[in-house]
A and B are shown apart, each in its own frame.
Chain A
Amino acid sequence: MSSVPFDDFDSPRSGRHRSRGVNWEKWGWIYMRVSGVILLVLIFGHLFVNLMVGEGVKAIDFAFVGGKLSNPFWQVWDTLMLWLALIHGANGMRTLVNDYARGARSRAILKGSIFAAAAILIVLGTLVVFTFDPCPPVSAADAHLLPSFCPAP
């Protein structure tokens, strides 16, 4: 028995096109596992703090949300949750399109819509989390529109 030259194995699959470079399917799969575990903590932590701690669900109002979004800790928490969940969900929907949509055209339209929806929601959500100000500076005439906890202008 003679030894096999291993150079023969460098291009084992001539029949099927194989793209070099980043393997997105692999990283997509790993992302789903990792983000899933992190989201378990983030989402249940979010639900616990909002619904069970202190007064519980009765405490949720404009002031409660305003207060949370002015705290850097919750800003980071919510931003992480937003990005991880939306990309996780969008990647899952992309998988469904791969599995069920047949035509190249319908695939492109569906995947484009999923990407657009996720991108718009991520940008919008991130903007809100970091720029939300429950007491914006207003003229004295509009001061009655502000929530009651804001200091008088």
Chain B
Amino acid sequence: MSTATLDAPTQDDAVQSFTVTFIIRRFDPEVDDEPRWQDFDVEMFATDRVLDALHKIKWEQDGSLTFRRSCAHGICGSDAMRINGRNRLACKTLIKDLDISKPIYVEAIKGLPLEKDLVVDMEPFFESYREVQPFLIARSEPGAGKERVQSVADRARFDDTTKCILCAACTSSCPVFWTDGQYFGPAAIVNAHRFIFDSRDDAAKVRLDILNDKEGVWRCRTTFNCTEACPRGIQITQAIAEVKQAVMRGKP
């Protein structure tokens, strides 16, 4: 028989894989009093992501490992976690970008109540998000059958802050938020910024009033932790500074 077949890949052609050690901060509220560190060895390719490692651990080694993920492609913002001490999305962190000669530490984001393993209670985060009224509030009506027209420049004014996916990587990297849960946190201010500087929106004054609070923008220490943590590359500290200036002016 002379059927054309693909040659079976030989050992030499195989993509090289590495044994990577993950040390994961586990917490099961039904068993543990305190969180504990547990290590797993996982066979990984350089192009795999930390999320793939978590999947392999959950599917092949320990089914009780608990974490959030939805889209797995950096859009839904479910899998923000602290990887080697930095807040990142597990689905956007490639193994080749980490130093695998040492173990990789993975833990839940800080500053929010730990529920289980890598899952935290996001309610305080979304509570301050809701408080800045993150929706369009317009007084005027567009013409019949028309949409609200906005110039390219007006749209560009707040373009950066439209990229937020509410993963909480910024807010849970903020030292002020860690010690003072009353602080709105960077994510809420970013989403307020998105509407404050939107030319179609008419409630900038209301949002500036909300953020001109004891626990509002003035608590920001410009440590830039949020800007470094943002998986979307939003210039968060700059956005907060712009909101501060808008509060002082009384208008955007």
Contact = CB atoms under 8 A, between A and B. Distances in A.
Interface residues of A, number: 24
A29 B218 contact: yes
Contact of A99 (B137, B180, B214, B248): B180
B206 A9 contact: yes
Nearest to B244: A29
Given A12-B206, A98-B180, A99-B176, A4 B131 contact: no
A1 B210 contact: no
**Which secondary structure dominates where chain B touches chain A?**
loop
Interface in B217-252: 218-219, 221, 244, 247-248
Contacts of A18: 213
B111 interface: no
Given A98-B180, A99-B180, A28 B213 contact: no
Interface residues of B, number: 29
B101 interface: no
Interface stretch (A19-27, A42-50, A138-146): A19-27
A3 B180 contact: no
Contacts of A4: 137-139
Given A98-B180, A99-B180, A19 B139 contact: no
A99 B133 contact: no
A3 B218 contact: no
Contacts of B141: 1-3
Count chain B CB atoms within 10 A of each CB in A2, A15, A23 and give the residue with the most.
A23
Nearest to B205: A9
B212 interface: yes
Contacts of B248: 26, 30
A23 B221 contact: no
B212 A26 contact: yes
B63 interface: no
A25 B175 contact: no
B77 interface: no
A16 B131 contact: yes
Contact of A26 (B131, B221, B247): B247
Given A19-B214, A99-B180, A100-B179, A9 B203 contact: yes
Contacts of B140: 3
Interface string B156-187: 00000000000000000001100110100000
